[in-house]
Amino acid sequence: MSAQTPSVKRLTPPDIRARKGGEPLVCLTAYDAPMAKLLDPHCDFILVGDSVGMVVHGLPNTIGVTLDMMILHGQAVMRGSDRALVCVDMPFSSYERSKEQAFDNAARVLQDTGCQAVKVESGVYVAETIRYLAERAIPVVGHVGLRPQAALAEGGFKAKGRDDASRARVLEEAIATDEAGAFAIVVEGVAEDLAREISETVKAPTIGIGASARCDGQILVTQDMMGLFDWTPRFVKRYADLKTAMEAGVEAYAAEVRARSFPGPDQVYKARKG
């Protein structure tokens, strides 16, 4: 084994693609190294989502997220993981102007972070860009249905496929994304029957979010499913209640500091040793 060979092999875009119709893909978001380390043994795919803008930076939507932010968070997630495929979101305005702009920025993300793939929100007009990137060896994940970067234009985060025209548009987006060469497609905010139809139509594995178990896998924002916030999207099941646990911990800490009753280093060390 050479010094460069890592002991654990990371999943690759072909590994993810090969899961079409097979064992469901377990996917979550991470924005920092400790979270990536925690998720890595359980996840096939870790997304450094531009949701980082809302979840970590307190932005109202993802429009203000920059390429530099994505690169910084992508680097941290790569340091914290060694098994899952890490995909970094291309933020708003980093890929829409031209195929060349998309290539330059996507290449920078791959080179500066060491991640395995980038994700673009793929309206039909983005298909040409996906093809350009894929032909130049940039692994691309598409994202159809509810596209958060369209939130300003659409007046919020709107579920898709509620009428025939919207349904046909999402299906068209998914087919265009697939034919352009995306190796996986995130399908967000669509009803179960449309998720099934998309998954049965496209060759790439579909990764649902608010799109039922009829996809080839699921992705959620980790902080949402771990219950860190008061509000989470209606479709998110909470698997833990981190907010309550953290509030209780902080309250207990504050009370001890105020009462000067917190333990000194020796007491802590003894207690932790058991």
Q: Which residues are catalytic?
A: 188
Does residue 47 interact with ligand KIV by CB under 6 A?
A: yes
95, 120 contact by CB (below 8 A): yes
Q: What is the DSSP letter of 160?
A: B
Q: Which is nearer to ligand KIV, 16 or 209 (CB)?
A: 209
In sequence order, the 6+-apart residues with CB closer than 8 A to the CB of 102 are 90, 94, 95, 96, 120, 129, 132, 133
Q: Which is nearer to ligand KIV, 50 or 173 (CB)?
A: 50
> Distance from CA of residue 15 to its chain's centroid?
18
Does residue 102 interact with ligand KIV by CB under 6 A?
A: no
**Single residue of 50, 173, 197, 216 touching ligand KIV by CB under 6 A:** 50
Q: Which is nearer to ligand KIV, 89 or 197 (CB)?
A: 89
Does residue 29 interact with ligand KIV by CB under 6 A?
A: yes
Q: What is the DSSP letter of 190?
A: B
CA contacts within 13 A on the Cβ side of 146: 19
Q: Which is nearer to ligand KIV, 50 or 178 (CB)?
A: 50
Size of the residue set binding ligand KIV (CB under 6 A)? 11
Specify the stretch interacting with ligand KIV by CB under 6 A; choose among 43-51, 79-87, 108-116, 170-178.
43-51
Does residue 106 interact with ligand KIV by CB under 6 A?
A: no
Specify the stretch interacting with ligand KIV by CB under 6 A; choose among 42-50, 177-185, 227-235, 244-252.
42-50
Does residue 177 interact with ligand KIV by CB under 6 A?
A: no
SS3 41: coil
Nearest-CB residue for ligand KIV: 49
State both tokens at 155.
């007046």
Does residue 209 interact with ligand KIV by CB under 6 A?
A: yes
**Single residue of 89, 173, 197, 216 touching ligand KIV by CB under 6 A:** 89
Residue type at position 71: I
In sequence order, the 6+-apart residues with CB closer than 8 A to the CB of 211 are 145, 187, 188, 189, 190, 192, 194, 195
CA contacts within 13 A on the Cβ side of 49: 27
Q: Rule CB under 6 A: which residues touch ligand KIV? A: 29, 47, 49-51, 89, 186, 188, 209, 219, 221
